[in-house]
Structures are given as C-alpha cells and as structure tokens.
Structure 1
Amino acid sequence: MTTIQLPPAFEKQMIHLLGEEEYEEFRNAIDQEPRTSIRINPFKQFSLPGNTERIPWSVNGYFLEERPSFTLDPAFHAGAYYVQEASSMFIEHILRSHEIPKGLYLDLAAAPGGKSTLLASYLGADGFLVANEVIQARAQVLKENIIKWGLGNTLVSNNDPEHFEPLEGFFDLVLVDAPCSGEGMFRKDPQAREEWSPDHVNLCSLRQKRIMDKAGALVKAGGYLIYSTCTFNESENEEMIRFLTEEFSYEPVRIDLDPSWKIRETQTQTEEGIFYGYRFYPHRVAGEGFFITVLKRPEDAYSSEPGKTKEFKHPFLKAQSQRESQDLDSEIGLDGNGQYYMLNDSYFRIDSQWKAYFEKLSQHLSIRYFGVELGKKQKMDWIPSHEWALSILPKKGFLKFELNKEQALEFLRKNDLELSGLPLGWVMVTYQNLPLGWVKNLGNRVNNYYPKEWRIRLV
C-alpha cells in the first residue's frame, strides 16, 4: 500500500481524540492492508469458502483470509453474499440486541446497498423497506444490488430528503448513513486523505444537518433513528446528536457491548440527558473507521398511517384486483398473500400486508423498483424477468439446469452457450443451486437472457 502523508490538521484532530500514544497506534494501523469481509444472504444457499472467521457482532458476517476476485465468482452475482465492511455490520447487532420491532423501514441514503440488504434480511417477510438514493446513477447501482439480494420486501426510490416531508411520522425505523468526509476510509481509500480538509468537514456537517432536519421528523412514535458516518471528527458525529435533540424529541438508546470487541462508547451531554455513540477505530477493531448512534422517538410523538383509499390511481402503475393477485400467486406457487401491479405490461409483486403503505409511498416518491418483477405474460405463458430468477420467489413450471463455473461465467458475460442436455423452452440456469438467470433453448440455438448492462467484462 502506498503511504500518503496525513494532513496536519487531521493529525491534530486525532491526537485530540486519542492522545499522543494511542494516535501512533492509529497512525500505524491505517497504513496496513484492510481485512476483507462479506455478509451472507440468509435466504439463499451458500457454502462459505474455507478459512473464514465470524465477525463477532454479526450473525451473517465473516472475514475472509484473502480477497478473491468477486467479479469472477458466480455466487456473488447470484446475490448469495454482499461484500461489506465489517464495522458497518454492527447495525445487525443493534437490531437483534434491542429486538427492534419489524415494520416499515427507511434507508435514506442507501447506495450502494450494503446497509439496505442488511435491513431487508432482518425484516424478511415481516417488514417493508424503502431504500432511497438521491443521486440517479447511484440509485441504479442500489437497484441492481436489491434485485440480486432477491427478497422482494424493498422499494427503491430516487428522491431528495425534502421529498419525504409528506411522510412525517410514517416509519418504524429510519437509517441515515450520512455522506461524510470519509476519514474512516483513509486505509481503504488513500485518495480520501488527499481530498480531506477542515473546510470539507464543515461542508459535510452542513449537508448532514440539512438531511437530518428532514429525517428526524420521519420516525413515528416509539420508532428508532439510526445515524452513522465513516468518519472520526466530532462535528459530524457527536455534534449531530446535539443538533437532533435540539430540533426533535428523542430518547437515548444504549447498546450492549462485549469488551473484547474494543468498540469505544462515547457519551454526549444534551439538554435531554446523555446520549450514546459508538466509535470504531482501525487500531482497535478489525474494521474501518465508523461512528453510529441510535435514538428512540417518544411514545407520545406524532405518528401517521396510510389510511384507506377507495381506488388506487397512479400514472404508471395499475393495481391488480385481489382475485387477480390470488390467481397469479397460485400460478407461481404461492399461497395468495401477494398484491400485484402492472408497469409497462410487466407484473410486479409485493406482500399484500404492505399494499396500503406502498400505495401511499407511490404518491410521493420517484420509484425505481419495488417488490419482485416477474415479467410479462403472453396468453398463459410467462416471459420471465431476470429479477424473478434472482428472487427467492418460487418458479413453478420452469426447469433448472446446473452450470459449472466456466459455463456460469460465460453466461454472466452474455456469451453464446453450448449446453449438452439442455431442455427446450425457458430454463433457469443455476450455479451451486443458486439461480443466475434465464436461457431459452429454441432447438437450433440457445438465447442468453442475462441483462446486457450487467454483463461482466473481466476475463
């Protein structure tokens, strides 16, 4: 790793936070190679590679002995795991240790999708997640990662935080992993050292306050707000706790820690009492720099519910009736709890218990994806979508064909395939029993339906 000199103002800041002696440990640590970690998808079958080590605060997180080429692992493209920095997985411990109720969640700054896929896994069939990203190009990456994860309990939106104002008091949990000065990424991203300045820190702090000024109002009574950054300075971390408690009514939440984790708890004095933050320093934990805090909305705070609408009207989406939805569920092998919508002649499915919430959200948000897109129908036959293949929904009536690694990579490159023994018609191809997508055997040729924009180019 190339060592880039740290800015003197940053060194002064860190000595203030850590002291001279501990700062030297920190300084040495950020010039070491970071550890590679993944979080597995608990809803998909996946065999971990050898020589892994469990991340102590995560049920599904593992350190790898070395960093493989994830691009050349078909299981990665199948959504069997997500490559995520270990410190960020602490959110899983927060959710589980406090048994935070499942319901309607919002990840307000969600791209590329690591924390959204974590929240979606925690919610499973018992919740619904809005994964939002303000930057359009990043929202596309978020959409792809949500599709690969395949749980069907997520809506991807592309909105500014101020667009959420009509949804005040609507969410059981709001997560804001705020855009920040990136001090915690100095080990993984040496360029971040060159871009750092006190002015950039101040700019980030102002941007965060603008975001949190909207986010703080979105949590309903009894709900939770989680705020995190990948930076160390107090103005982007503890000062944001003071800002939130001055602007909104919140209560502190303290997280149980195992001393062996070496996560450092901070206490922030506010007019509402002491609030807690959790700092991850790379010389203490086997992860990158990270800060996180949890606040709870009082039970007497404002809450809003979706209410009932006589008829769903939307310029692009058409809701299917309860009977039509039940028939479609039966076709694909489900028990009738789905609600279907049509968009551009393609069918999308969400769990019917979130119908009213989804329909209210759709009136205010710019939706990029939701639930699971199944595809189109020609009379009684499906033209299945790639999204359906990667989802955990059943694929009743379709045959499977297992590919070896070389064949799987050719499929992912969207190359022509020669497969001996492939059945005729639509076939779902798999790798290690993980669905990768669709091919169609016409007899004289095999059409590869892997999305062109997703194809891998690495040889």
Structure 2
Amino acid sequence: MTLPEDFINYTKALTGNELWSIISRGLADEPPVSIRLNPFKCASGSPAESLSDGKVGWCDSGYYLNSRPNFTFDPLLHAGLYYVQEASSMFLDRVMRQYASDGPLTMLDLCAAPGGKSTVARAALPEGSLLVSNEPMRTRAQILAENMQKFGHEDVIVTNNYPRDFGKSRLMFDVILTDVPCSGEGMFRKDDMAISEWSVQNVEKCWRLQREIVSDVWQCLKPGGLLIYSTCTFNTKEDEENIRYITEELGAELLPVDIDDSWKITGSLLSGFDKPVYRFLPGLTRGEGIFMAVMRKNGERDANDTPRKDKKAKKDKQRNSKKETASCNRDWIKDPDRFDFVTSDNITAAIPKAWRDVYDAAAKSLKILSAGITIGESKGKDIIPAQALALSRALNKDTFAQAELNYAQAMSFLRKEAVTLPADTPRGYVLVEFNGVPLGFEKNIGNRANNLYPAEWKVKSSHVPDEYNEIIRTK
C-alpha cells in the first residue's frame, strides 16, 4: 500500500511518531472480518465453530471470523439472518443502548447506504420505535432499500432525499445519525479507491460539506434529542473541529460513552479539545478507522412530542385513507389489526398504525422507496406477494404452502433460475425456504413454477460451490 505523502505527514504530526508507527503497521495488515447477527431472525445464532474468532466487545451481536468466506454463496445472508459489517461501525450499538433505550423513539439515519448502521440502529431501538433510513444517491438508495427489506423489520421507512429536504418535511426526530461523507482515510486498507481519491483539497471540501449536512437537519432534531456524528476518517478537521462547531455554533452538549480500556479506543487528537470523542485506529483497535461523537441538543425533551402537522394534516389523512384497500390478504401477516393497508400504484403496503401520521407527513414531501411491509402487487384480481413480505419478521408463514430447498436449489432460486418443486406442492404461491428460513416466493402453475425473486437482487455469479459451507448456526 502506497499512502499519499501529504496524508503521512499530516497524520504523523497529529498522532506523534509512536502512534503513527502503530497505525501504519495496522494499515499494512489484512483487515479483520466480522459479521453481526440479526436479532429478529437469528436470536440464538452464532458463527460456525470453524470460523468463530471471538465476539466484538462493544456489540453483543457482533462476531469476528478467522477468515473471509465467500458470503455471496450463503442463502442465509440473502435471507437477512446476518449482515457483513466491519466491527468499528458496530460501536453505534453501544451508543444507542446507552442513550436511546427509552422509547418509543423516532430516528433518522441521514446518509444510510448500504445499510450497516441502519440495521444496527433498528436492532438497538426500543420496540415500537420508527427508523427513517435515508440515502441521497439514487443507486445507493436502492441498495439500502434492499438491505433494509432483508433485515425484515416493519418499523422502517426508506427514503431517497437530500438533507435539506428533511427541513421542508416538517418531521422531527428524537435521534439523528449523520454518518457523513468523508475523505475515507479509515478505509484505506479496504478500498484502494479511497487512497487514489484522497487529497488535502478533498479534506477541505469534506469538512465544509459535513457542516452543511448537519446544519440542514439540525432543525429536525427535537430539543433534548441526540445527534450522533460519524466519519470513517482520521483528521481533526472532519472530526474534532466539526464537533466543536456543532457544540459552539448550533448548541449541543457532548456526551460520554461507557467503554472498556481493553478496546483501545482513542480519544481526541486535537490540541486543546479535551472532550469525549471516540476514534478507532487500525493497528490499535480491532476494526477499521472510524470516528464517532454523541451530542444532545440544548433544550428540554418532550416525550409526547410528535411530528409537526399543518392545518391540512387531517384532510391529508382522510384523502390518503381512500387509498386503503380491504381486499389485501391481511392474513399474510401476523397481527394485521396493528396495521393500516395502503395501496398506491397497485402496490399494497402494511403501515403500522403507531406511526401512520409520520408516514403521511413523509409521503407529502419526501421520496419514499419502501415503508412498513410491502405486501404485494395487484394484477387483476390477483395479488402477487412481495419479496419484502417473505423476508419480514411479521410474515404469517402458515398462510402459504411451503417448500424446503436443498443448497443447490436455494442457490438456483437466488440466481432467479427455474426451481422444480416437489410433485405434491399445491398450485399457487409457494414460500420457498432453506434450512427452514424463508427465501422468497414461487408461483406453482402445475407443470412448472415461476421464480418471483427480484431480478435486481439475483446472484450474478455463474459459479456455485458443490456443498454448503456453513457460516452461521441458527440454533
């Protein structure tokens, strides 16, 4: 790895020779491999014994692996039972469980793609909370929507908007995570592109953009609400100096996070700034390079505060209610009385009643990619069940015929190839599973079955291993 000379000189001056020596050796090493289990689908799971290399100290559902398997060929990854995520990013779990445990809460993950921190947040939020997971870039937002649907929690809205759009939405949040675009210094050993794109000029561009992003959404944070600021870079311009700006100019109090000395998390590197911030450095901590700080907005929190509504809110809700449908196969999900069923452009979604007002407000001014549980698409008198339904924790499996696939069949299904179902499989929509875990739907028409797996999700590799290499144990 050849690092930019300007980066070396700046970072060495920041850290001192001894710490720089540790970082430079760490950047030359292979990055650790880690996964995080989905507690809603894999509560009692663990890595396969042959791969396990200990737990991530700051996240109970995080595990290190002793090598990097080919995750693409594991059906359980595609079913959402775990997420491949570098360990340092899982520190968000520690933050959430310390400061966002009283709920329900409404949270915004502003720059969320591909979804790692959003799935951490959704797992840590109190039950009944709502997560709005947003990504400004369209192609990345589609990946985010896919990963959040695989995660399978119904209390999520995925949006594709710029930060300033949330100021116009009139929505208010208890927690906002700003994992802002940065110069990427902490990802050098994972991403060669980050090295080639690094420059002093880009650092200058990034810290200014980061302040704009936080300023754009600051009005959407409730008084007393939490702002979690995160980057994957080392320099203090994008880290400590921006935190100082937020606390002094916008009005926020920095909060300490409980940590263990054995984790070797580094504090502030900015002279004269002795505040609680958390920096993960390769070679010192077991993960990639990230920076995180937690702040509380000045003012008293109102536990009963709800998204701001204008005088037309009631009329809007009445108008939206006309889109609801009674014939939407309510029994496809558990506890259907907990949901409103809303149809738009022939797509029916189950929206939890607890946050229907938030959905209605968001739908007026934000671009929503998914919300709640997408149930299916109406075609004539038929409703085609959605992939999101198959992967939802609220799926009522008993309302569908089910077919267990072996490993070769499961991979064929994920490649959107024809899969022959057992001869005694009833006609109609069939939930196909691997190791008892739902993968998606097929429509059995007798002489063949149509694979309903989304074309944009399919595994593109033409090679498939002959045998299943277990990555996690589900029992």
TM-score by length of 2: 0.89
Post-superposition shift, 1:223?
1.0
Equivalent of 2:440 in 433, 437, 441:
437
Conserved? CA contact 1:306–1:356, under 8 Å: no
Find out whether 1:346 has 2:360 as its counterpart. no
Matches within 5 A, 1:267-346: 275-300=275-300, 305-307=307-309, 309-312=313-316, 319-320=323-324, 324=326, 329-330=330-331, 332-334=333-335, 336-346=337-347
| SS at 2:276 equivalent | strand
Would the alpha carbon gap of residues 314 and 6 (structure 1) be closer, same or farther in structure 2, given more than 3 Å must change? farther
CA distance in 2 between partners of 1:149 and 1:124 (Å): 16
Letter of the aligned partner of 2:448 in structure 1? Answer: R
Post-superposition shift, 1:130?
0.9
Matches within 5 A, 1:112-123: 112-123=114-125
Gaps (5+ residues) in structure 2? Answer: 464-475
Post-superposition shift, 1:300?
3.6
Letter of the aligned partner of 1:27 in structure 2? Answer: S
Provide the residue aligned with 1:401 in structure 2: 403
Letter of the aligned partner of 1:296 in structure 2? Answer: R
CA distance in 2 between partners of 1:101 and 1:205 (Å): 32
Matches within 5 A, 1:87-236: 87-102=88-103, 103-123=105-125, 125-167=127-169, 170-236=172-238
Would the alpha carbon gap of residues 250 and 124 (structure 1) be closer, same or farther in structure 2, given more than 3 Å must change? closer
CA distance in 2 between partners of 1:318 and 1:193 (Å): 53
CA distance in 1 between partners of 2:109 and 2:410 (Å): 33
Find out whether 1:48 has 2:47 as its counterpart. yes
CA distance in 2 between partners of 1:415 and 1:382 (Å): 22
Find out whether 1:82 has 2:83 as its counterpart. yes
CA distance in 2 between partners of 1:430 and 1:124 (Å): 29
Larger deviation, residues 40-49 vs 65-74 = 40-49
Provide the residue aligned with 2:467 in structure 1: none
Post-superposition shift, 1:265?
2.2
Conserved? CA contact 1:329–1:337, under 8 Å: no
Would the alpha carbon gap of residues 14 and 356 (structure 1) be closer, same or farther in structure 2, given more than 3 Å must change? same
After superposition, the C-alpha distances for 1:294-347 in whole angstroms (9 at most, x for unaligned) are: 0002334796634483233699995428xx49x964564415111221111221
Post-superposition shift, 1:59?
1.3
| SS at 1:228 equivalent | strand
Post-superposition shift, 1:439?
1.0
CA distance in 1 between partners of 2:195 and 2:329 (Å): 53
Provide the residue aligned with 2:473 in structure 1: none
| SS at 1:11 equivalent | helix
Provide the residue aligned with 1:22 in structure 2: 19
Post-superposition shift, 1:386?
1.2
Post-superposition shift, 1:169?
7.1
Larger deviation, residues 420-429 vs 179-188 = 420-429
After superposition, the C-alpha distances for 1:182-212 in whole angstroms (9 at most, x for unaligned) are: 0001111133222211111001111111111
Post-superposition shift, 1:123?
2.6
Conserved? CA contact 1:348–1:374, under 8 Å: yes
After superposition, the C-alpha distances for 1:359-407 in whole angstroms (9 at most, x for unaligned) are: 1121121111111110145798642111111111123420211111111
CA distance in 2 between partners of 1:153 and 1:218 (Å): 19
Would the alpha carbon gap of residues 443 and 168 (structure 1) be closer, same or farther in structure 2, given more than 3 Å must change? closer
Find out whether 1:426 has 2:429 as its counterpart. yes
Conserved? CA contact 2:108–2:173, under 8 Å: yes
Find out whether 1:256 has 2:258 as its counterpart. yes
Equivalent of 2:31 in 24, 31, 34:
34
Provide the residue aligned with 2:469 in structure 1: none
Provide the residue aligned with 2:472 in structure 1: none
Gaps (5+ residues) in structure 1? Answer: none
Conserved? CA contact 2:171–2:358, under 8 Å: no
RMSD (Å) for aligned C-alpha atoms: 2.5
CA distance in 1 between partners of 2:336 and 2:418 (Å): 37
Conserved? CA contact 1:124–1:151, under 8 Å: no
| SS at 1:180 equivalent | coil
| SS at 2:350 equivalent | strand
Conserved? CA contact 1:401–1:422, under 8 Å: no
Conserved? CA contact 2:179–2:230, under 8 Å: yes
CA distance in 2 between partners of 1:157 and 1:167 (Å): 12
Conserved? CA contact 2:236–2:269, under 8 Å: no
Letter of the aligned partner of 2:410 in structure 1? Answer: A
Conserved? CA contact 1:230–1:290, under 8 Å: yes
Provide the residue aligned with 2:470 in structure 1: none
Find out whether 1:446 has 2:446 as its counterpart. no
Provide the residue aligned with 2:6 in structure 1: 9
CA distance in 2 between partners of 1:65 and 1:419 (Å): 37
CA distance in 1 between partners of 2:400 and 2:288 (Å): 44
CA distance in 1 between partners of 2:224 and 2:324 (Å): 34
After superposition, the C-alpha distances for 1:268-296 in whole angstroms (9 at most, x for unaligned) are: 799xx964210000111110000000000
Post-superposition shift, 1:232?
0.2
Post-superposition shift, 1:22?
2.1
Provide the residue aligned with 2:387 in structure 1: 386
Would the alpha carbon gap of residues 193 and 104 (structure 1) be closer, same or farther in structure 2, given more than 3 Å must change? same
Conserved? CA contact 1:226–1:294, under 8 Å: yes
After superposition, the C-alpha distances for 1:431-454 in whole angstroms (9 at most, x for unaligned) are: 122110001221111111111121
